Amino acid sequence: MPSSQLRSIGDVLPLLKTEFPDLSISKIRFLEGEGLVTPERAPSGYRRYSDADVERLRYILRMQRDYYMPLKKIRERLDLIDQGVEPQQQDTPDLPVLSTSSASSKNQADEVEADPGKPIKLTRRELIKVSGLSEATLLELERLQMLLPRRGTMFYGREALMICVVARKMQIYGMDTRHLRAIKQSAEREAAMVEQAIMPLRRYPQSTENLQEATQLVLQAHAALMYVLLHH
């Protein structure tokens, strides 16, 4: 690629900043240090990013933001992509089959299924239709503050959709909002533990990466211990 089509790391940041407001140069360097992206190096030693490098960064950041995917798993998916293999979309929310005849909600569900990397932006009414959750259960989740619109907006994101779908499916096994409340209390304790653990690292540039990695470690430990308790 001609050098004129290559970008410095300072040029790459604003290209991604609109979609990822918390992104920093240190985060991009961290991802490079982890071997997830390998930009060219100019004779001067400065990084030079191609369009493919920028799209690779965008993919990585979406996997982290939308699916809370650990770097190890992202690396595995990138390896498949590098080999020309399309990774299975096994990490997307398991959306219900809609029984409603509403064309608008059907189109919304199709859009979510077709582009799992696209940020979700749902009104309250759309959230009910797409998730298949009853309004009464949604009201109870809101009362318990388990479900909130994105900060500063009236729209709900992927996390809200995930909670609604999980709440609906838990009802099949006789679990209701009381059980979700217990899960929420457990999550609050784990979140407080992570916050306390990374507090001394807040002053460092990579504090966001530290938070993400610590969160992933707690989630992985939680999942592994649940398996041990239920299957041993």
Whether pLDDT at 227 is above 60: yes
> How would you classify residue 84: left for phi > 0, otherwise alpha for psi between -120 and 50, otherwise beta?
left
- pLDDT tens digits for 93-138? 433 333 333 334 444 444 444 344 556 788 888 888 888 888 888 8
Domain ranges of the chain: 3-82, 103-175, 178-231
Distances (CA, A) of 214 to 39, 68, 71, 210: 27, 12, 12, 6
DSSP state for residue 47 in the 8-state scheme = E
Whether residue 167 contacts residue 177, with contact meaning beta carbons closer than 8 Å, is answered with yes
Of the candidates 176, 190, 182, the residue with the CA atom closest to the CA atom of residue 220: 190
pLDDT score for 51? 92
- φ and ψ at residue 44, rounded to 5 degrees: -75, -10
- pLDDT tens digits for 9-58? 999 999 999 888 888 888 898 898 888 999 998 888 788 999 999 999 99
In sequence order, the 6+-apart residues with CB closer than 8 A to the CB of 49 are 6, 7, 8, 9, 11, 12, 37, 39, 40, 57
pLDDT score for 36? 92
pTM of the model: 0.49
Q: Which of 11-25, 84-98, 194-208 has the highest mean pLDDT?
A: 11-25
CATH code for residues 3-82: 1.10.1660.10
Whether residue 132 contacts residue 168, with contact meaning beta carbons closer than 8 Å, is answered with yes
- Residue 122 three-state SS: strand
